[in-house]
């Protein structure tokens, strides 16, 4: 019922504060008014039945049965709470209540008349006519009040607004704009490219034309705001609309993509400024929600790195499928706290546990596995920043390789059914420490294959908006009116939005039988400088004129472009057009154990030369960056120095040996 909504309570509170006589006796007035309407509809039912020539004995029948009819209707309408609520906010749920109340009261009134007066002279068709008129009059008067209230709203301070998209999302936005007078938008119509919708009306507003006609329609209607309500719009569509809006100098906002809206509910409150990721949207994903739900529903799911960009989005999307329990594992208490609060608000019935822990702490990982016995593990915890890892190679190896082994090994020990590792396109022909550690991690989980645990990896490129990515950096530079720094004018990257990447990860997880590396379709690589240009323009500025672009050169370990597969990897299609699968290689369990021991020993000894040598042995296609090679030579010289010093060689011999 309308009377239960928070907005109504607020309005009723305001009304009570005014204390006008009408509002003070509002309910009593409503009861007497509807009592009059019910009596009037009953009278007109008799008039219609007898062609407006009511005569005896039916006049007496009407007068004798009127108290019974009205009394029954008053009681039934009161039971359905139809004497409460504000008519200006009436909706379909109220109309359904009116229909139910009218039908029930018609049956009870018929029985009441039969029991009190018999049916000898009572015209039975009056019951049907009265039922129809009651619904029409009681419902009609409410909707008339709502229509009058909406049409009488003062628009002098409201800006003329167009909605682009005359679909379900656009209809929901229009409905909210009509009913909520606090929203400062004066809707003048819709824009839609569908020829079949041209000229039609939606929520009382006309579809004025297609997006090609946008400049003319904006000028004719003095439009100041554009609301883009196309949840399935592609990036090219959004780009075309944005260009027209900018050319016409009007404000524009958009709804997030469908995958970004957690509960599927569309509201004006979700409208936000257009972001770069909106311009890179691809066609909507086709997902087999049934298979994903079968995998995750009523299962215990563990997510490592749950506070990170990918991990937190995994948590949001897994929560939709109602797992038995969701375990959020992360070493950052602040990041974990944020996703903890968000899940509590968005999924109040979700059973989840936030676990502060480090994947390098084997005992902590074992304790969580033993206590909760997860069925599914998404391993998203990793160090990912390429230049940072070039300077901290031991930590990269320890976290990305040893940490992955710890989680994967414990998953195998506790019979976790499915283990999915988030990998990277930088694992292909790696030119940096981060990439080679992810490639080794891929190989080691493939070597841990077990009949009870299926290990797979999902490989994809950059995700827009992730922590430490170029997007937040560009946004900060633009906000401070600083030059935007781009590494190289030809640098290209595969980009994907975080929700899109996670949706495909979930889909790939349903396909794995163990031993596969899944590769997501990242579309076409995009120049980083183009992303910078788009972001500057979306901020209302012009590249080079307002914000200069400065090229800083490729950072340690970076490539001009990334790859998604090795030359020798045989890539094959899957049932999903956006997911490919490839042969990641075959490694036995014994080999994995030896790798872990040797890499751990070299990392603990801080032996760069030995570490890089071992990594190149495991991943022959790894090409160390000049910065790592320099560290390797220093480490090799130090190792040689210590070796010769221990042997008692002279400084001259030491110098000759080192130079050789």
- Interacting residues of 6 by C-beta distance below 8 A, sequence separation 6+: none
Interior CA angle at 180 toward 179 and 184, to 5°?
A: 130
pLDDT(91) > 90: no
Q: What percent of the chain stands above pLDDT 70? A: 83
Widest distance between CA atoms in the chain? 136
pLDDT at 78: 82
Other C-beta atoms within 10 Å of 636: how many? 17
Of the pLDDT bands very low, low, confident and very high (cuts 50, 70, 90), residue 364 is very high
490: closest CA among 405, 446, 402, 551?
551
Residues 566, 429 contacting (CB under 8 angstroms): yes
Of the pLDDT bands very low, low, confident and very high (cuts 50, 70, 90), residue 5 is very low
pLDDT at 258: 58
99: closest CA among 124, 142, 131?
131
474: closest CA among 460, 487, 489, 492?
487
pLDDT(9) > 60: no
pLDDT(13) > 60: no
User: How many H helices and E strands in the chain?
Assistant: 25, 21
Instruction: Please report the domains of the chain, with CATH numbers, ordered by start residue.
Output: 2-151 (no CATH), 159-274 (3.40.50.720), 291-591 (3.40.50.720), 606-659 (no CATH)
Instruction: Provide the CA 428 distance to its chain's centre, in angstroms.
Output: 29
**Mode of pairing for the β-strands spanning 579-583 and 526-527:** unpaired
pLDDT(206) > 70: yes
Instruction: Provide the CA 613 distance to its chain's centre, in angstroms.
Output: 43
pLDDT(450) > 90: no
426 has catalytic annotation: yes
Beta bridge partners of 205: 202
pLDDT(584) > 70: no
Beta bridge partners of 419: 377, 455
pLDDT at 32: 79
Of the pLDDT bands very low, low, confident and very high (cuts 50, 70, 90), residue 15 is very low
Residue in the block written with tokens 């019922």: 1
pLDDT at 497: 80
What are 60-75's pLDDT values in tens digits?
Answer: 888 888 888 888 888 8
What does the alpha-carbon distance between residue 441 and residue 399 come to, in Å, rounded to a whole number?
A: 10
Q: Buried (b) or exposed (e) across 74-111, using 16+ Cβ within 10 A?
A: bebbeebebbebbbbbbeeebbebbeebbebbbebbbe
Of the pLDDT bands very low, low, confident and very high (cuts 50, 70, 90), residue 257 is low
> What is the average pLDDT value for the chain, to the nearest integer?
82
pLDDT(87) > 50: yes
Residues 223, 250 contacting (CB under 8 angstroms): yes
Instruction: Provide the CA 633 distance to its chain's centre, in angstroms.
Output: 48
pLDDT at 151: 58
Assigned token pair, 356: 């502060």
pLDDT at 296: 95
Q: What percent of the chain stands above pLDDT 90? A: 33
Of the pLDDT bands very low, low, confident and very high (cuts 50, 70, 90), residue 493 is confident
Catalytic residue among 244, 275, 426, 559: 426
pLDDT(465) > 60: yes
Residues 235, 282 contacting (CB under 8 angstroms): yes
Of 201-205, 295-299, 345-349, the one with minimum mean pLDDT is 201-205
The verdict on pTM exceeding 0.85 is: no
123: closest CA among 199, 25, 234, 47?
47
**Mode of pairing for the β-strands spanning 571-573 and 549-551:** unpaired
Q: Buried (b) or exposed (e) across 334-373, using 16+ Cβ within 10 A?
A: ebbeebbeebeeebeebebebbebbbbebebbeebbeebe
Backbone angles phi, psi at 464, to 5 degrees: -70, 135
pLDDT(449) > 50: yes
pLDDT at 85: 58
pLDDT at 148: 67
pLDDT at 19: 44
Of the pLDDT bands very low, low, confident and very high (cuts 50, 70, 90), residue 423 is very high
pLDDT(92) > 90: no
Q: Which of 26-30, 433-437, 479-483, 502-506 has the highest mean pLDDT?
A: 433-437
- Interacting residues of 83 by C-beta distance below 8 A, sequence separation 6+: 27, 30, 31, 34, 77
Q: Which of 92-96, 334-338, 550-554 has the highest mean pLDDT?
A: 334-338
């Amino acid at each position: 019922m309308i009377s239960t909504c928070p907005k109504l309570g607020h309005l009723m509170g305001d009304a009570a504060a005014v204390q006008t006589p009408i509002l003070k006796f509002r309910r009593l007035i409503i009861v007497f008014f509807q009592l009059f309407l019910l009596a009037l509809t009953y009278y007109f039912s008799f008039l219609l039945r007898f062609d407006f020539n009511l005569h005896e004995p039916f006049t007496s029948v009407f007068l004798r049965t009127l108290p019974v009819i009205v009394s029954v209707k008053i009681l039934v309408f009161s039971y359905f709470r139809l004497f409460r609520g504000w008519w200006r906010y009436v909706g379909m749920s109220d109309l359904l209540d009116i229909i139910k109340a009218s039908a029930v009261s018609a049956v009870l009134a018929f029985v009441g008349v039969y029991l009190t007066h018999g049916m000898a002279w009572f015209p039975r068709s009056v019951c049907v006519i009265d039922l129809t008129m009651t619904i029409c009059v009681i419902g009609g008067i409410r909707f008339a009040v709502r229509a009058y209230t909406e049409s009488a709203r003062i628009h002098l301070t409201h800006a003329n607004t167009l909605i682009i998209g005359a679909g379900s999302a656009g209809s929901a936005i229009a409905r909210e704009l009509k009913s909520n007078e606090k929203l400062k938008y004066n809707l003048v119509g819709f824009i839609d490219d569908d020829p079949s919708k041209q000229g039609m009306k939606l929520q009382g507003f006309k579809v004025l034309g297609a997006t090609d006609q946008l400049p003319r329609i904006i000028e004719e209607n003095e439009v100041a705001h554009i609301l883009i309500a196309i949840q399935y719009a592609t990036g090219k569509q959004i780009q075309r609309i944005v260009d027209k809006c900018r050319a016409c100098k009007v404000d524009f906002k958009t709804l997030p993509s469908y995958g970004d809206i957690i509960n599927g509910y569309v509201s004006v409150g979700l409208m936000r400024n257009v972001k770069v990721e909106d311009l890179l949207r691809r066609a909507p994903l086709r997902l087999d929600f049934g298979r994903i739900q079968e995998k995750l529903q009523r299962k215990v799911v563990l997510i490592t790195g749950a506070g990170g960009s990918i991990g937190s989005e995994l948590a949001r999307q897994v929560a939709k499928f109602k797992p038995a329990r969701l375990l959020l594992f992360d070493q950052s208490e602040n990041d974990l706290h944020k996703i903890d609060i968000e899940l509590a608000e968005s999924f109040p019935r979700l059973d989840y546990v936030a676990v502060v822990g480090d994947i390098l702490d084997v005992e902590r990982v074992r304790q969580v596995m033993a206590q909760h016995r997860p069925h599914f593990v998404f391993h998203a915890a990793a160090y990912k920043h390429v230049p940072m890892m070039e300077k901290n190679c031991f930590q990269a190896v320890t976290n990305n390789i040893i940490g992955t082994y710890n989680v994967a090994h414990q998953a195998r020990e506790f019979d976790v059914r499915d283990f999915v590792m988030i990998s990277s396109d930088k694992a292909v022909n790696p030119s940096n420490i981060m990439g080679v550690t992810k490639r080794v991690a891929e190989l080691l989980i493939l070597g841990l294959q077990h009949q009870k645990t299926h290990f797979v990896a999902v490989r994809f490129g950059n995700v827009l908006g992730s922590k430490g990515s170029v997007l937040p950096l560009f946004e900060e530079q633009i906000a401070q009116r600083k030059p935007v720094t781009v590494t190289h004018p030809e640098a290209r990257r595969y980009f994907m939005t975080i929700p899109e990447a996670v949706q495909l990860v979930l889909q790939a997880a349903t396909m794995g039988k163990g031993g596969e590396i899944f590769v997501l379709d990242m579309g076409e690589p995009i120049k980083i400088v183009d992303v910078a240009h788009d972001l500057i323009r979306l901020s209302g500025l012009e590249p080079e004129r307002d914000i200069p672009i400065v090229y800083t050169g490729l950072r340690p370990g970076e490539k001009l472009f990334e790859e998604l597969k090795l030359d020798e990897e045989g890539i094959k299609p899957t049932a999903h057009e956006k997911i490919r699968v490839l042969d990641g290689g075959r490694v036995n369990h014994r080999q994995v154990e030896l790798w872990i021991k040797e890499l751990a020993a070299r990392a603990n000894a801080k032996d760069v030369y030995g570490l890089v040598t071992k990594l190149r042995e495991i991943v022959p296609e790894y090409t160390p960056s000049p910065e790592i090679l320099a560290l390797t030579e220093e480490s090799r010289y130090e190792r040689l120095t210590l070796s010769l010093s221990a042997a008692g060689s002279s400084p001259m011999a030491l110098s000759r040996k080192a130079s050789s």
